[in-house]
Amino acid sequence: MNIRAIGNLLILATTVALSYGMQVSKPHYAELTAPIPVDGAVHDTVRARSFAVRLDRVVFARTLKSDQFGQEKLLTTSGLWAVVTTSLTATSTSTTVADGTWQGPTGLRYHQSERLGYRQDMPPHSIDPGLERRGLFIFEMPPDQIPGASLLVAARRFGPLDAQARISLDAVPTGADGQPADVLPQYDLDARL
């Protein structure tokens, strides 16, 4: 083989390796346009672009009780129910907060449970500037996704390049086994209204 052919093969191999490296290392479009997190903790007011949220309380239960259209409804799960109570307010103009996601310590995400149907105190929450409104976010998840979790709150589920409140749930009390310390056998959602 002559020197020119070896040089051409070397340039081709370098180009292929460089192209492959660029393809593997480039971020995905979803990562480039992902929501911008604004971090906070339990009981802190986290200010996103269009709303502010404060996580007031997290209650864990094995069964949820709710009245819907005059019928009592009991909901069970193989894991745990997490009922998250928040205070929401708009920052400058009226808006809605429509998305809440529980992100476990392993990165798994649990969206709000749809098993409850429509409730006035569940998303979407219409909020106005200067008027604080209580909002519930209800999740069902395995107990091992509780320690080290975060609550992600956004104006909408797919809000590219918009702010997203990310509230660390490290303050949630857990036992020695990593499970929540206070798990109720049943939680009545309507007792608080």
CATH of the domain at 115: 2.60.40.1240
Q: What is the pLDDT of residues 6-16, one digit of tens each?
A: 889 999 999 99
Residue 158 and residue 102 share a domain: yes
Residue 165 and residue 184 share a domain: yes
Residue 54 and residue 120 share a domain: yes
Is the pLDDT at 39 greater than 50? The verdict is yes
How many structural domains does the chain have?
Answer: 2
Q: What is the DSSP string of 64-127?
A: EEEEETTEEEEEEEEEEEEEEEEEEEESSS-EEE-EEEEE-TTS-EEEPP-TT---TTSSSEEE
Handedness of CA 115, 57, 67, 181 (dihedral sign): positive
Residue 158 and residue 98 share a domain: yes
pTM: 0.81
Residue 125 and residue 72 share a domain: yes
- 192 pLDDT tier (thresholds 50, 70, 90): low
Q: What is the pLDDT of residues 95-107, one digit of tens each?
A: 999 999 999 999 9
Domain boundaries, position 26: 1-30
Residue 168 and residue 117 share a domain: yes
